[in-house]
Structures are given as C-alpha cells and as structure tokens.
Structure 1
C-alpha cells in the first residue's frame, strides 16, 4: 500500500475507536480527527490517485465527518451509562467495519516493481513498425500490412527531477481488456494504471559507454502484452542491455497500432488456435517473423534512424532472444533458424516442431513452473551448447509475468501456484540476468552453478557447462 493510504487507514482506526468510547471518556479534541483525515484524502487523491479499493475508506471518512460534525455542534455530553454488552458490541462492530475497509486496499494493492538494481537509470520508448512485405491475415482488408509494435527499455541518463512513467504508459484501457478476457469485474485491474515503474519515458540514452547487447522479447499468447514483464526488462536495462519487447497484434490481449489505438485480441481465432495444429503453426510462423523483422531492423536502431536516442547504443553482434509461453516458442524457432541469436531464454514455454526434433546451437535457459505442462525435457537434453533447466517450486504459468504481483489472492483465484509474487519476480530477474551476463557479456554467473540460499524454491540442472 501507498504511504498516504496507510496514514488514512491508521487515523480512521483511531477515529472509530474514539467514536465507540463512552461519551464521558471521549475527548472532544479527537472529534476533529476526521477533518484531518479528509484533508489527507484530498492530498491522496491529488498525489497518489484514487482507486476503487479505497472507496469504503472514502465513505467511512465521510460518515465519520458527518457524525463528528453533529457531535461538535451538540453540547458537551453528560455522563451516561452504557451496558457492557452494548459497548462490546460497538467495539466489535467498529473493528469489523475497519477490517472490511482496510482489507480491500491490502489484498489488492498498488504493487511496486522491485528496484532494477543495476548501475544505470532506465529509459523506455514505444514504437510501431510496419512490415511492408507481409499482409495482415487477421483483418478483412486485403491491403492491410503487418504492424509490429515495440516497447524498448535501455540504459539512460535521468535527472532526479524526472518522474518515472506508469505501468500502462498512456493506455490504461488495457486493464479493462484483461478483465473482460478473464471474466472478472471490469474495474478489478483499473489500479494498475497507478503502478509506478522505474523507467522514464523517452529519456536520453546514457553516454560515454560502449554499445550494449540487445535482447528481443516476445510476450505470451492471448493475455500477453508488451510490458507484461516490465520488472525483468527494467532489471536488464539497468545492468547494461537494450531490451526490445515485440508485440504480436490480434493474438495479444492488446497492443498499440500506429495511431495509438489498441489492437485487441481476436477472440474468434481462439478456438482455431487451440484445436487446429496448422493454424497454430501458422501463428507461430507469424510470431517468429515478427521477431525476425525486428532483428533485421537492429542496424536501423543503431544508426538512430528509428529512435534517435539509441544511435550508436546497440551491439548488434551480441543478441539474446527470449519469450514467455508462446512467445518463448517463437523465440526458440527464431534461434533455431538464425545464427544471429546468441542466447535463448524461455519462460514456461511449449515447444513445437522443428525445435522438438532439431538441436538448438545457442546457450539456453529454460524456466519451468512446478508442474509445467509445456517444458519438454528432450528439448533441454539435445541442446548443443550450455543449457540450464530451472524449475520454480510453487509457481504456475502466469507467475512468469508481472501479474504475479497483483494480489496475495492470486493463488486462491487460480492465477498462481502460491509462490510469493515478489520472490517470483526476483527469481526471474536474477537468474535471467546471470544467464545473459554469462553468455552475452562473458561475466561470472555463480548463481547458475549451485543452489542458492536466497532462492530455495529453485531447482537448476545444467548441461554442457564445466
């Protein structure tokens, strides 16, 4: 929870406690407390922003304000006798009311992304490219061309006065798209627009440094979106990587187009994706070609013709590729086909032909949920390079995104395997960083070599590494 929210709830508790004291023990000075709470609520709305989880607290503040205004207008109360049972009932009722008011913002908080931890500040930019060589098959217009939306995180120069952007940037409607697809109340994730990142929008890239290795990243199918692993992207960028998240229109929850509007998930294609292997393979080809299209444009980023702030900042000879779920499937296929891929990261990703029958030649880190239905042991065993299979106890499929941070109720709702969301994100960030540090920067990575007391949930198996 945020600072002002905590202060408001604490003062509301005191206000309730004094309200239910016998009149002869009630200080009239304390009756002014709801007025202070009201001022704090106004500051909270201006500085932190309102959210639906705090509505009961707002209503309780108004109720206490009205009640205490009435009491202050009345003469000082004479001593009256209250039965013990009535006092106990009032206290119990007040505590129950406060629990109801305080638990919503606690159980569904405005979560915080972990500190990136690297030596660089982080900038982030958005861009939409058009592949004029490919038609868009998911629309009815024959002249539509494939748009490829991107979000790019990079080491930046940021002044202390610059405020990081929010999680959705300028597209809070993605929350409503996710809740609609999950069958949840439409407002349930609106507060994600209040989550602060650690990245400054369109900040200048850091100067005086050699070019940085590049990592292309592909989100998951259906519920995926460009910033679904923002914490991981920020961590990598803060440690000296340029990370490009590649969007896949019509098969992501929502990604922006060139006009700034959202391209939403084409729900009519979902049955075909799950039941028709040929359609799924065609989708995988499209996603792989999206990644290849961006790979082919890395020299344009390096020249500054696409994003001027990245001119001269990319080391296009050191390229990692990663993805979550179906995005990891596309990343794997790309690395099987492209010698320009120097390292591969997959987050609980299924594998399809030809990856099932052919050997990957790059170093690979496979993340797997505790009882993963996707990760195939045989793919790990046939990699002709250093390979790591990392299983996280207590994790489920959607724990491999920032959504693991949304609520401690995730497990009860079936969105988590029960692992603490903050710990899950730390595991993803630190092991992915260690992997790319070792295989793109030739840095030591002892975290990959033995069990860690900091991450007892992790079981790691390595091949082809001394």
Structure 2
C-alpha cells in the first residue's frame, strides 16, 4: 500500500482504540480525528481515490457520530468491525509498488502507432481495413524531473472489463491499476553512449497486452537494452488506437481470438496457425519499421544484436519468428504454448540459442504435442538450449500478475508462493540469457541463480541439475 494510505489506516486504528478505552468519548479524540481527516484529504488529492479505501472513508465519518452515542459498546463494536474490513480490503487489492530495476540506467518509454499497408485485417469484415499496430518502446534514458512517469496501463476505463473477463475477476477489482506507477519516463531523452542498444522484441499471449510484463521490460532497459512490445490487435485483450481525422474518440480492437468449444481439432489448429502466422508478420513488420524510421532514438538501436521473447502464445510467436528470420540471435519463451505449431519436424529448424522458463507441466488438451515441440526445439538448439522449470508456478506467474494481489493466489491464477521472488527468477534468467547470446559479454550460469532450490534446469535433452 501507499504511504498516505498506511498513515490513514494507522491513525484510524488509533482513533478506534481511543474510542474503545477512553472514559470520555470527547477526551483526546477530536484533535486526532482532525489530523486523520486532514491526512485523508492529502491522500485523496496526492495519491488518488480508489474504491478499496471507501470503507475507511466511511469509518471516519462514522467515528464523528459514535463519539456522542449513548450505546457505546455497540457503537465501538461496529467501528472496530468496519476498521478491520477497511484494512483488509486495500491490503487484498493494493496499489502495488513495482520492483526497482537493477540496472544502472534510468528508463524512458514511448509509444508508436503504425499501419502495415501490405496487409489487410482478417479479423474484421471491412475489405479495406489494414493491419494497425500499437507499439511501446522502453530504453536507457537520461534522468529527468520534467518527464512524466508512464502509467502501468493506459485507458484503464476501457481496458478494465476486458482484462477482468480474461482472468475471471470482476472489473472493479482492476480499476485502480491506473494508480500503479512504473519506473519509466515518457519521452525521456536516450542516454549518450558508445554502445548502441541491443534490441529485444516481446510478444504477449492470447488475451494479454503489451504492458503485461512491464517489470521485465524495465529490467532489460535499465541494463542497456531497447525493448519493444506490441498489442497484437484482436489477440490482445484490447488494443486502443488514437483518434484519427474521421473519429474524435479512441478506436478499439477488442479480443476476437476465442475459438468456440466443440470445434474440430483440425479446424482449431488451422485457426490458431493462421493467428500465429499473423503474429509473426506483426513482429517482422515492427522490426522493419524500427530499422526504416529515422529518429534520434531509433538510431541508438543495434540491429546486429536482436533477441525475441514472449509469454504463452507469444512464446510460440518468438520461437517461430526466430526460425524464420536469422536476424534474431536468441529466443526466450516464458511458459510458451507450442500446441498450435503445425510444422513438420523436418522443417522445424531452430539454430539459435533458446531459453524456456515455465511451469512443470501444461494441464491442457494435447500436452504431448506441446512437449514434443519443446523437446524438438531443445534438441535443435543443442548445448545453447536451456529449460528452467519453476516448481509450484502457474501460467500467469510468468507475467506481472503475481505482484498485484494475494487474491490471485487464492483464486489459483498464480501458484508460486512469493510473487516478488518469482519475478526475480524470470528477470535474472532472461537477462543472463540475453547478456550472453545477444549482447555477448557474459558467461551464462543458471546454477548461480538465486532461489535455485525452486528451479529444475535442463540443458539440451540432458538433465544438468
């Protein structure tokens, strides 16, 4: 929770205790109540209102009435119950403080809106609708007090319901996410250095979004990388495009990648493969644009050192992109989902270093198909292939979700018992891997990872630890 939120809670706790033990309801309560109310106003205007604190706001109003009530025991009990609820609710759905990146650089971020004029949009019925993309770039930046801090999620008023539908939560549990502050400064000036920024491209999973792994994006950028993530339109939970000359409001690409239950396996596979090929085309289009657009920022990128990563379906996107384009020097799949692969074994040529970080097993239909392709890719990458299995983890542990609420654990959306430790495992393993195989300046040693007792490491097809 945030500083002023905690302060208000502690002051209100003191008020409740004062009411419970004071012989006079007026003795010592009024000055403390005034201080608490003033602190609450500061919290409201500096940190911002959120619905999880409403019971506490109500409590302060109730305390002013309780002080003069004859029925002191009942009133005190009611106030105490409300106070407990007031503390538990914001603690269960906190405004999380994202982990501080470990690298030496500050982080800048910017957003691009690009249109691929060579591709029509097959998710819509409009014949002249072209494939449009929203892209976010994180990069090492100069420190600046004049640049605003980037929100964790933009357009939360539009996105909350879509995100909630995807993870099975009520939307009101997510509408406070716009209060989460990142470590990224909007449009900050990139650092001046002799070394150009190695480039990492990131692809989200089905129903995901470009900011779902912000902590990893910031970790890489703070260590000298330029990191690009996109919203794959109609695969993302929602893509929000800026207004154009024909519309004064944002245009939305909603999630349209669900396949009805009961669809024949062959048809399911055909649809998923088409989606996968569309995603790969998105990646290659973005890479083309980054090289073609001439700006001072993009000129700082080293296009000889490129890696790619992705979560879930984005992991499959990363692997197949690396198979098809030799500009990628390494690929990372975070709990990648390889069931949709539809390529003959003989054509699956993975000749770049590969890191798979994921849960112990995929509990989905046709897990054998997923395992087959994972083993095939591992064997082709040989000694530069690594498989890290995180004991106790679940699928959403490989995004930022384990940081946001203990409720995620209760609902079974995440499994690893310590969200911040889980994020460190993902960050450290991914950074080490790219440092060796993209940047080329370190020697990888996953056995030295902190929390290694939670990790099983497989290299190639032989178990190493």
TM-score, normalised relative to structure 2: 0.89
- 2-structure distance, mates of 1:409, 1:457: 22
- 2-structure distance, mates of 1:219, 1:384: 26
SS in 2 for 1:246: strand
SS in 2 for 1:209: coil
SS in 1 for 2:99: coil
RMSD of aligned residue pairs (Cα, Å): 2.6
Q: Which residue of 2 aligns with 1:245?
A: 229
CA deviations 1:172-206 (Å, max 9, x no partner) are 42122211344432211011110000001111111
Residue 318 of structure 2 corresponds to residue 331 of structure 1: yes
Structure 1 residues 202, 355: CA separation in 2 closer, same or farther (over 3 Å shift)? farther
How far is 1:287 from its partner? 0.6
Of 329, 337, 352, which aligns to 1:342?
A: 329
How far is 1:372 from its partner? 3.0
Task: List alignment gaps of at least 5 residues for structure 1.
Answer: 72-76
Task: Please show how residues 45-444 of structure 1 align to structure 2 within 5 Å.
Answer: 45-68=44-67, 70=68, 94-160=79-145, 162-222=147-207, 224-259=208-243, 260-266=250-256, 269=259, 276-301=268-293, 303-304=294-295, 309-351=296-338, 352-354=341-343, 357=346, 358-373=348-363, 374=370, 376-384=374-382, 386-444=384-442
Task: Report if aligned partners of 1:273, 1:280 keep a CA contact under 8 Å in 2.
Answer: no
SS in 2 for 1:119: coil
Moved more, 415-424 or 167-176: 167-176
Q: Which residue of 1 aligns with 2:366?
A: none
Task: Report if aligned partners of 2:237, 2:254 keep a CA contact under 8 Å in 1.
Answer: yes
How far is 1:273 from its partner? 10
TM-score, normalised relative to structure 1: 0.88
- 2-structure distance, mates of 1:350, 1:286: 16
SS in 2 for 1:153: strand
Q: Which residue of 2 aligns with 1:457?
A: 454
Task: Report if aligned partners of 2:394, 2:414 keep a CA contact under 8 Å in 1.
Answer: yes
Structure 1 residues 356, 195: CA separation in 2 closer, same or farther (over 3 Å shift)? farther
SS in 1 for 2:102: coil
How far is 1:170 from its partner? 4.7
- 2-structure distance, mates of 1:240, 1:200: 15
- 2-structure distance, mates of 1:267, 1:287: 12
Task: List alignment gaps of at least 5 residues for structure 2.
Answer: 244-249, 364-369
Task: Report if aligned partners of 1:107, 1:407 keep a CA contact under 8 Å in 2.
Answer: yes
Task: Report if aligned partners of 1:355, 1:379 keep a CA contact under 8 Å in 2.
Answer: no
How far is 1:94 from its partner? 4.9
Q: Which has the larger radius of gyration?
A: 1
- 2-structure distance, mates of 1:354, 1:207: 44
How far is 1:238 from its partner? 0.6
Task: Report if aligned partners of 1:390, 1:458 keep a CA contact under 8 Å in 2.
Answer: yes
How far is 1:163 from its partner? 4.0
- 1-structure distance, mates of 2:147, 2:288: 33
